[in-house]
Chain A
Amino acid sequence: MTAEQLTLEALLAHPANGGLRMIVGSGSTVWDQAVVEQDEPGLPSSGRGQLAILTTALSSAPWQQDALMRRVHERGFPIVALPRAERLSAGARQIAERLGLAVLDVDRPIDLTKACWELSEAGDALTLRYVRRVAQSFAYSAEDLAGLLRHLAGNVGHGLAVVDASGVLHEAGGHLEDSLRKDIRFDAWLDVARSGSSSAVSVRIESPTHTGLRLVLFGQGLSSAQLRALSAAAEIAMPAIAARILIDDVAAVNDAAASSGLLRDFLDLRGGSDPEVERRMLEHGWKTAGYHLGFRVIGRGRVDPFQLLRHVAQGLGRLGTDSHATTSGRGVTGWLSFPDMPPPNQVEKAVSALRELHTQTRRSFNIATGVGSMQHGSPGLASTLGEAADAARIAADRASTGWFLRVDSLGLDQLLLAWTGSDTFIPAAESLLASLRKDRNELLTTLSAYLDHESNIVATATALNLHRNTVATRIHRAQEILGIDFSDPESRLALHLACRALLR
């Protein structure tokens, strides 16, 4: 077998290096081969380009430490590793530095020897070790993708991450630096990226539901032998990661369906109580006690509520507040819970966090968000969610507020008007005014303006830029078609609301 040149960095990065620590020297020291002996007299007389590993611990006598440094150096070794080297005296460290000798402390010299052998001569053994470690990780049940990554990182001994072109989605066992991540190529099946002393191997995750994901294994000072071995480990781990992503998706869909149903049942109670619903809510981890701030995110076009929920839930996770969210109708309903009445500044902070979440979500989805007021207890939860739904409905038409509205900022009239947009009112209004909508809405707009201007023909004509006779004729026709007495206050109110609902 051809031996490969070893670097100290690679050895320090090896997960089973016997507890290797740098005492004197730099990570850039290189050598070809390791020699292991019980003590210094057993070492070969020519140690040029070799690592000396001694199994006997360093003596506590300073003069013996000095002498050891001198003699190892005189044998030509550039680097020596031995147990208890951390107790090297300041003077002996200085001597090692003067002589240009690197000194390492190692708890288990035999493990270090094995690691050297794997790195320099037995790449397959190293690969096998990593692959076995990957396989062992599957023995532990993981709750989700993050858990699986943690198990893998713990067993393999290097950092793991799942990334897409925009950034890191999950990582465990270390932090994948941005500079390194940017060097990862997304078109190749397998890729090795380097940035400074850190390097990463990555493999494409073959997932039917998510494209453009890569599994990355990364670390500091990894040698090419280690990177080769880690590539194999990444390939072995990838299908498990892909499967895990699919399982998580299915579980999330199931969970969303169940929680969506539960929320519907809760809202149907309209603030009342039902032991069965309460029990289910508790099982779901939804506490009704405390204070709640409801919000609702609805699509302003076609939006997959489940995708939207996943995005929102991810954002909520970063808020650091007790939060819940689920799909409901064509959007997502959720709330933040607080055990005690939060002070006003905290409420403001929560709302601005929701606004931030809204802004972020808008980058991927065409949505509008409404936020309710802070309410207490189970009835409070129902009412804040109701407020949020109203606010969201209004927000859908409010480009001026960035399609984000908070119920506290709305007047009562706005709210009342918002109710006319409900699913029951609009069909009723439509059927009431259907006959007026035949001629390009001409009669409907005229009627609406007439009602807006307190049944004043002149004011209506001015507003619509028409002749007052035209207005009078149109009102007359409308009255005939509808068969409603415009002088009756209740009929007028119903007509006015119906016009508002349809012309919005």
Chain B
Amino acid sequence: MLELMLGRSRGWPIAIAGPEELDPTTPCLAAAFVGSTILLGERLPGDAPFEPLVHAVERWLGIRVPAVCSLEGGGLNGLVPLTFAPDRIVVDADCTGRAVPGLDQISLFVDRLPGIVAACDTGAGGAMLVSTDRAIDAERVIRSAIIQAGGAGGAVFAGFTVGDLIEHAIPGHLDVALRLGSAYLSSAHWPPAALAGALGGRLLGHGRITSVDTDDRDPFVRTVELAGVNGEVHRIVSRTETLAFMTDGRLEASAPTVIALLDAVSREILEVTDLTLARHIVAIELPGPAWWHASPHRLRRVQPSAYGLTELDAIT
């Protein structure tokens, strides 16, 4: 959908600026779709879904915000900032560096950056603005508003500058995504280990899905068992994203490390909902952003234990 929107963009070729290349005092905003992405496919957003929200934050801040960065660098939301070109400067920085389910997990909140405001859809063209320094309030209020708006909608965060992104976000994100994408396109059908190498990652394992279990306590948590090619037992623990990968009871990788899952035959990149019985899949570990590892308080917000899943955090 966004690819179609971007295809008609006036801004091509879109210029991307690194955060260091701009004046650090330049105000910046971050935008993303929140809620169910499946719903967005059924109920298409308008041609400028973020316009009322940007208007609301600019009015609140009393200034025009000339720069835009991504809020969540995974999936659909990775492309959102590009829709703002050429009216605003697209900054190559991301506020999560991977996929995360909660708005309180964005880097600006994790680092407790003061003065963040957020606006989101409330449905029927309405907008709501939250100004709070307590991350969980923003998450809960925006989540409620999005439910009110029909389950999916836009959100825009502002109140920070391009200079803040150097320290409190993950710079170079688009660059990494572009390199990863090109590598995938050129080597998608290579043998699994070679493909993992080409992507700059490590092959965790490949095998056939023998069971998919839902956790007793958290219905979002799913455990997928893979019968490995040499008889080993792989276990993938996922919530909205893949959180951990184990082989024969030993933890091999866990968030914030990125665990990418591909169909072993078509090499299609799989979401957690695509993991169904008897499918052959390949699991590849891609290094997560170093930003999350830089401090214990950041790690605490992104490791599996942040979701109440014990014994899955990588020991550092």
| A residues whose Cβ falls under 8 Å from a Cβ of B | 60-64, 66-71, 73, 89-92, 94-95, 98-99
21 contacts between A and B (CB under 8 A): A62-B223, A63-B237, A63-B246, A64-B310, A64-B311, A66-B246, A67-B246, A67-B311, A69-B249, A70-B249, A89-B213, A90-B225, A91-B211, A91-B225, A91-B233, A92-B233, A92-B249, A95-B233, A95-B248, A98-B232, A99-B248
Q: Which residues of B contact A67 (CB under 8 A)?
A: 246, 249-251, 311
- If A91-B233, A95-B233 touch, whether A66 touches B248 (CB-CB below 8 Å) is yes
Chain A residues, CB < 8 A from B233: 66, 91-92, 94-95, 98
Q: In the complex, what residues of B have CB within 8 A of residue A60's CB?
A: 215-216
- Whether A89 and B211, one on each chain, are in contact in the complex, defined by CB atoms closer than 8 angstroms, is yes
How many residues on the B side are at the interface (Cβ–Cβ under 8 A)? 22
* A contacts with B: majority SS: helix
Q: Which residues of B are found within 8 Å of A64, using beta-carbon distances?
A: 310-311
Does B204 reach chain A (CB closer than 8 Å)? Answer: no
Closest-CB distance, B80 to chain A (whole angstroms) = 34
The reply to whether A89 and B225 contact each other, CB–CB distance below 8 Å, is yes
Min C-beta distance of A11 to chain B, whole Å: 25
Is B231 touching A91 in the complex (CB atoms < 8 A)? no
State the B residues within 8 Å of A (CB): 210-211, 213, 215-216, 223, 225, 231-233, 235, 237, 244, 246, 248-251, 309-312
- 9 interchain residue pairs of minimum CB distance: A70-B249, A66-B249, A91-B225, A91-B233, A62-B223, A69-B249, A95-B233, A60-B216, A95-B249
- Chain A contacts for B249, CB-based, 8 A: 66-71, 73, 92, 95, 99
Distance A441 CA – B215 CA, assembled complex (angstroms) = 105
- CB contacts (< 8 Å) of B231 on chain A: these are 94, 98
Q: Which residues of A contact B232 (CB under 8 A)?
A: 98
Expressed in whole angstroms, the Cα–Cα distance for A67 and B225 within the complex equals: 14
The answer to whether A61 touches B215 (Cβ under 8 A) is: yes
CB-based contact A70/B248 at 8 Å: yes
Given contacts A61-B215, A63-B311, 12 further A-B contacts (CB under 8 A): A62-B223, A62-B225, A63-B223, A63-B246, A67-B246, A67-B311, A68-B249, A69-B249, A91-B210, A92-B233, A98-B232, A99-B249
A99 to chain B minimum Cβ distance, whole angstroms, is: 7
Whole-angstrom distance between the alpha carbons of A68 and B310 in the complex?
A: 12
CA distance A373 to B200 in the complex (A): 99
A90 with B211: CB separation less than 8 A: yes
Contacts of A61 in B (CB 8 A): 215-216, 223, 309
Neighbouring B residues of A90 by C-beta, 8 Å: 210-211, 225
Name the distance in Å between B259's Cβ and chain A's nearest Cβ.
13
Nearest-neighbor residue (CB-CB) of B233 within chain A = A91
Chain A residues near B246 (CB, 8 Å)?
A: 63, 66-67
Task: Determine the distance from Cα of A90 to Cα of B216 in the docked complex, in whole angstroms.
Answer: 17
- A89–B215 alpha-carbon span in the complex (Å): 13
Enumerate chain B residues within 8 angstroms of A66, measured Cβ to Cβ. 233, 235, 246, 248-249
